[in-house]
Structure 1
Amino acid sequence: MPALGIDIKETSVSGLSSGAFMTSQVYIVFSDIMKGAGIVAGGPYYCAGSWSFNTYLQNATGACMNPLTPSVGPNVPALLAKTQQLSKAGSIDPTTNLSDDHIYMFSGTQDTTVTTMVMDANYQYLTQLGVPAANIEYIKNVAAGHAFITDSKSDTSCGLTQPPYINYCPPTEQADAIIQQIYADEGPVNPPAASASGELLQVDQKAFLPTAMTSMSDNAYLYVPKSCEQGGCRLHIALHGCEQGYKVIGDQYYSTTGYNEMADTNKLVILYPQAEPSQGAGKPYNPKGCWDFWGYSATNPANPDFYTRDAPQLKAIKAMIDRLAQPVQ
């Protein structure tokens, strides 16, 4: 992983599905360095802790995905209370950091995997936690399935939910919209380049993993525009969803979703951390290669930590951020 002298206080994050849940975690836990977030089909921070009578996994796959009614969906009051408790304890950054951030949110009308009901709860959570409603762009009128949205005709038809979960829904170009929204307060955001001209690097992710139980791949991917090789750029972290890591769909998420073209024209480095499928003896049960928002990677299964700065996956991502922030050698 190269040291690129990124401006760490200009970091942002986005993701789809489990990557959106992880986006909520990265954004809330490390809010001191965050400019904003892009959440595509994902619930609020600590959603899997919504209801104490359920296990984390039961909440994650029920209340946090496709609840029957709002009353059994994400428990926003409980999640807000837990967030403030963790903030006061120093387990996550102060929630007061959120007051000037910008958020992009998207829920497709054909998405039955993570429904609009869950996204609505996330909107309530964020606004009640302190993100101004005026700073949130929430789109929920596009007939999209459960997918990241592009304007490429070669991608899956808009309303479907099927691998690789990258859909064509013109005129939406989601990477463009996310970057536009997050950095809206810093002047005009430039349109994407016609084609990516920077360097896409395979980098050693294994060196940043705190345990062997993270269900993260040995490698991550890093896109570095030519204008960022000598430092001074911002960092955006793009988190794939379940069944979207490179071991499942190859380079599609980190090459074809539009982030790299936005990076070229807006002085952004894009980090693509990678989760991978795992199961079997001595491995966490994560057969679809999802990011951990219910506790499978925790070293203490009886009291799993997947939501503080000490959580294995969050610790790994922060270590990569810190490395990228070191001065260019």
Structure 2
Amino acid sequence: MKHFDRLLRLRLLSLLVLILAVMPPAEAARLPGFGADISKTSVSGLSSGAFMTSQIYVAFSDIMVGAGIVAGGPYLCAKSWAGNSLLTNATTACMNPLTPSVGPNTPHLVALTRDLASSGAIDPIENLADDHLYIFSGKSDTTVTTAVVDQTAAYYEALGVPASSIRYDTSVNAGHAIITDENDDTDCSKTKEPYVNDCGFEQSNIILNQIYGSLNPPADTLSSEIMAFDQSEFIDAANTSMSDTAYAYVPAVCKTHRSCPVHVVLHGCEQGAAVIDPSNKYYAQTGYNQMAEANDIIMLYPQVQPSNAAPVNPKGCWDFWGYSSPQSADPDYFTQNAPQLRAIRSMIDRLAEPVTTISSTDTE
């Protein structure tokens, strides 16, 4: 009889596993409004997320107070040299140019930025003058080299950000990665998936302190769960390569009692949840949420995923060369009307709406 009971339990367990395997995944919830104070929005990212950071930051500077750029070139970098295609510029001048002279064409990019601001395609560049920036290049990074990142700092200074408001760190022997203080992460000097390296400090903490000033140290525990939400409702173009689901971390106090600022966090190539889940490495294990908890900041984690068809984006990078407008000879990937930027701005605006969903567990 005991043998029969055991066999029955095993068969029932196998049936349950089979049912769960064929069940469709639960739909992600609608992103609620939380009455966020988006006049204090900021953004940071690694690699393609760093290029996208500059695009969001410059395009929507009216609501921005600062940015963190880890291994990324200046805004509009893929437009550096007119004789090259956007993709060629993106993968050479903006990553690992043979010499600094064929790297980002900063004077040209500054002039283009001023023209875009004059036309109203992006917010006025005067907004940048009182912001604070963190810029980082690892000594062992051969993916986006220091010669490129040097021009990111030069670009922002040329547009009026005081050198005293820019923290530019080239002192760490880091590979191409976001930096943590976790022993289980990749060794500091390597460039290796998932591009999260242990160099003995939490880069997210430094980024947020540089942008917002002296913040509280990170919290030991979180008051809320990380929220998966339906990103697809914000996507109104066919070739964004953006995932159906994105993520947010909203401290309990920001759900009910306080109008909190928003920090947008942008993963790099091959780092979206569609690639590195179930580890949730970027949006759950890079220190941002602990800082959010301790300082009443909402964290928004938009997501992009690999695409081998239209658009061609096999590594799941953010668009800084125009793949999201594949039919256009002059694609718009950098103004307020660009497909990915428009979607992310809509998410930020949703967070600013009045509180729309409060569960009983949120108020405990």
TM class by smaller structure: over 0.9
Superposed displacement of residue 40, structure 1: 0.2
Counterpart pick for 2:129 among 90, 99, 102? 99
In the alignment, residue 134 of structure 1 is paired with which amino acid? S
Counterpart pick for 1:261 among 272, 290, 313? 290
Superposed displacement of residue 70, structure 1: 1.4
Name 2:192's counterpart in structure 1: 162
Query: For the residues of structure 1 that align with 2:221 and 2:320, how far apart are their CA atoms?
Result: 34
Name 1:213's counterpart in structure 2: 239
CA-atom RMSD in angstroms: 0.8
In the alignment, residue 330 of structure 2 is paired with which amino acid? N
Q: Which has the larger radius of gyration?
A: 2
TM superposition outliers: structure 1 runs of 4+ over 4 Å: none
Query: For the residues of structure 2 that align with 1:74 and 1:296, how far apart are their CA atoms?
Result: 20
In the alignment, residue 204 of structure 2 is paired with which amino acid? A
Counterpart pick for 2:219 among 193, 200, 209? 193
Name 2:37's counterpart in structure 1: 7
Query: For the residues of structure 2 that align with 1:213 and 1:323, how far apart are their CA atoms?
Result: 22
Superposed displacement of residue 190, structure 1: 0.5
CA contact (8 A) 2:137 2:146 kept: yes
SS of 2:259's partner is coil
Mapping of residues 260-279 of structure 1, within 5 Å: 260-279=289-308
SS of 1:175's partner is helix
SS of 1:319's partner is helix
Note if 1:42 corresponds to 2:72.
Answer: yes
CA contact (8 A) 2:311 2:326 kept: no
* Percent of aligned pairs with the same amino acid: 59
Query: For the residues of structure 1 that align with 2:354 and 2:128, how far apart are their CA atoms?
Result: 27
The superposition leaves residues 76-101 of structure 1 with CA deviations (integer Å, 9 ceiling, x where unpaired) of: 01000000000000000000000000
SS of 2:227's partner is strand
Note if 1:228 corresponds to 2:257.
Answer: no
Note if 1:325 corresponds to 2:325.
Answer: no
Name 2:172's counterpart in structure 1: 142
**Length-normalised TM-score, structure 2:** 0.88
In the alignment, residue 43 of structure 1 is paired with which amino acid? G
Query: For the residues of structure 2 that align with 1:191 and 1:248, how far apart are their CA atoms?
Result: 30
In the alignment, residue 202 of structure 1 is paired with which amino acid? A
Superposed displacement of residue 142, structure 1: 0.2
Query: For the residues of structure 2 that align with 1:101 and 1:272, how far apart are their CA atoms?
Result: 22
| Structure 1 range deviating more: 155-164 or 294-303 | 294-303
Query: For the residues of structure 2 that align with 1:8 and 1:197, how far apart are their CA atoms?
Result: 22
Name 1:238's counterpart in structure 2: 265
In the alignment, residue 354 of structure 2 is paired with which amino acid? P
Superposed displacement of residue 299, structure 1: 5.7
Query: For the residues of structure 2 that align with 1:266 and 1:39, how far apart are their CA atoms?
Result: 21
Query: For the residues of structure 2 that align with 1:33 and 1:130, how far apart are their CA atoms?
Result: 17
SS of 2:305's partner is coil
Superposed displacement of residue 327, structure 1: 1.3
Superposed displacement of residue 196, structure 1: 2.9
Name 1:69's counterpart in structure 2: 99
SS of 2:226's partner is strand
Query: For the residues of structure 2 that align with 1:89 and 1:199, how far apart are their CA atoms?
Result: 42
In structure 1, list runs of 5 or more residues that go unmatched: none
Query: For the residues of structure 2 that align with 1:319 and 1:140, how far apart are their CA atoms?
Result: 34
Query: For the residues of structure 2 that align with 1:263 and 1:103, how far apart are their CA atoms?
Result: 18
Name 2:181's counterpart in structure 1: 151
In structure 2, list runs of 5 or more residues that go unmatched: 1-30, 357-364
SS of 1:109's partner is coil
Query: For the residues of structure 2 that align with 1:36 and 1:195, how far apart are their CA atoms?
Result: 26
Counterpart pick for 1:179 among 193, 205, 208? 208
| Structure 1 range deviating more: 98-107 or 224-233 | 224-233
Superposed displacement of residue 194, structure 1: 1.6
Query: For the residues of structure 2 that align with 1:311 and 1:48, how far apart are their CA atoms?
Result: 15
**Length-normalised TM-score, structure 1:** 0.97
